[in-house]
Amino acid sequence: MFDSLTQKLEGLLKNLRGRGVLTERNIDEALKEVRLALLSADVHFSVVKSFIERVRVKAIGAEVMKSLSPGLQVVKIVHAELTDLMGKKGAGISLTPQPPTVVMIVGLQGSGKTTTAGKLARLYRSKEKKVLLVAADLQRPAAVTQLQTHADALRVPIILPEGETDPISVVRRGLARGRAEDVDLVIIDTAGRLQIDERLMAELVQIKADVAPHEILLVADAMTGQIAVDVARAFHERLGLTGIILTKTEGDARGGALLSIREMTGAPVKFLGTGEKLDALEVFHPDRMASRILGMGDALSLIALAEEAITREEATRLHEKLRSDRFTLDDFRTQMKQVRGLGGIEKILDMIPGFGQVKRQIDPTQVEQEMKHMEAIVSSMTPRERDTPEIINGSRRLRIAKGSGTSVQEVNRLLKQFQGAKKMMKRMATGKRADFRELGMMR
């Protein structure tokens, strides 16, 4: 998300930071460009207008104009206002002291509502919480089947319809089981429609009145831009949403819905769907997203992703191998798999502070393809070759290339990149600065 907006804002704010003195005219000119950048990112015009005015009032204040680094002060103001615009702090779901916490999932058909219910179940199950899914979408039989598939994959219990025509009876059975079994989180998947209509809303209002859920979360498709904002506003007016889950954000290059939706509805974005798999759901942190939009990276989210993918024992073992120079091609292959599991090179570079420019110097798709080839090459080696790559001579390289469906040149490149990665990671393990150019992925 926000690639185009980030590039524009990075350039504008870099220019401001470089000025020793700022005038009101300088600020107005810069904010005019910021305004155009936000509008081109599909941010609602009324949101842009109020945002720019708030920044302007603070930026021309005496505290900024008389500071030793006025440009940096303006950057801080823009960051703070972006954070405030998106909701200040990430919330996720706050579990109630008296379980179960009941979450009602609502939304239109096609937004990814049922899959998102499964993603939520997976996220909180990974936090060692007891989760129960309730299939209360009686309008679309495929939704029940889909949710059951997710429940089976996650090994999470599910309440299915037993011939009922009224979703409330299904929900009541779910709540009764949740209370009886001390479930932490009951997730109710409700019916959707292709468009908002009175019948849909009446059913949801009735479920809300009967269940009194702790959370009512709207699942909205970020790819629809300002339509998602309109949908959120309509649901919020009738149901009083406690939060919004934006899906398909990995395909939303502009991000206007994310920057507009809280200001226009009053309901905060709580989660982002970043892919089709059940693990592709992130708790939304406005301050971290503001940093990413301004090209400052998001180290905290990167650390959280790494902690989820890599156990403390694995990290300790790897650290010791790097320090003692025992890092092997097997370890290298494991690292590549873990990087891909974190969401790929592009996502990681977005999160590393100061690496926005690096991302634009490489082709992430090409790097991902290269990593797949590299994994295949390592898999074609014998255990001894993976442990002692120095023995890989010309005939061995030819055999490995044939076995992996690659070329000798690719095998040579892998061995060179392995040595570069080994040096880079050893530097990091011993507290020295890493040089990512040693990976050989920047042409």
C-alpha radius of gyration, the chain, whole number: 25
**How many angstroms separate the CA atoms of 308 and 428, rounded?**
20
Among 378, 365, 373, 358, CA closest to 438: 358
Specify the pLDDT at position 381.
93
| Cβ atoms within 10 Å of 321's Cβ, excluding its own | 16
Q: Which residue, chain included where needed, has tokens 């095998």?
A: 411
Encode the chain (443 residues) as per-residue pLDDT tens digits.
567 777 777 777 777 766 666 778 888 888 888 888 888 888 889 999 999 999 888 888 766 666 656 767 777 888 888 889 888 776 688 888 889 999 999 999 888 899 999 999 999 998 899 999 999 998 887 899 999 999 999 999 999 998 888 899 999 999 999 999 999 999 999 988 777 888 888 889 999 999 999 999 999 998 888 888 889 998 999 999 999 999 988 876 677 888 888 888 888 899 999 888 998 898 998 888 887 787 665 445 555 556 556 665 666 676 677 666 777 888 888 877 777 666 666 666 665 554 555 555 566 667 777 888 888 999 999 999 998 888 999 999 999 999 999 999 999 988 988 888 777 766 655 555 444 444 444 44
Q: Which of 183, 144, 179 shows the shortest CA–CA distance to 160?
A: 144
* Nearest-5° Cα angle at 203, 198 to 208: 125
| CA 363 – CA 345 distance, rounded (Å) | 9
Q: Which two tokens stand for residue 292?
A: 């990413």
SS3 433: coil
Give one DSSP letter per residue of 125-159, joined into a string: HTTT--EEEEEE--S-HHHHHHHHHHHHHHT--EE
Write the Ramachandran bin of 98: left for phi over 0, alpha for psi from -120 to 50, otherwise beta: beta
The three-class DSSP label of residue 303 is helix
pLDDT score for 65: 60
Could you tell me the end-to-end alpha-carbon distance of the chain, in angstroms, rounded to an integer?
24
- Please report which residue ranges of 158-197 form alpha helices under DSSP H: 167-180
Query: Any residues with CB less than 8 A from the CB of 61 and at least 6 apart, and which?
Result: none
**Whole-number pLDDT of residue 304:** 58
Domain annotation for the chain: domains and CATH numbers = 3-86 (1.20.120.140), 101-294 (3.40.50.300), 300-439 (1.10.260.30)
Residues with Cβ within 8 Å of residue 170, at least 6 apart in sequence:
134, 135, 136, 138, 159, 160, 161, 162, 164
Please tell me the pTM assigned to this model.
Answer: 0.68
Q: Which two tokens stand for residue 296?
A: 């400052």
Give Cα separations from 14 to 8, 18, 63, 72, 73 (angstroms): 10, 6, 20, 9, 12
Q: What single-letter DSSP state applies at residue 41?
A: T
Across-strand partners of 217?
A: 105, 243
Angle at 292 between CA 287 and CA 296, to 5 degrees: 95
Specify whether the CB–CB gap between 79 and 290 falls below 8 A.
yes
> Looking at the DSSP assignment, which residues form a beta bridge with residue 281?
273
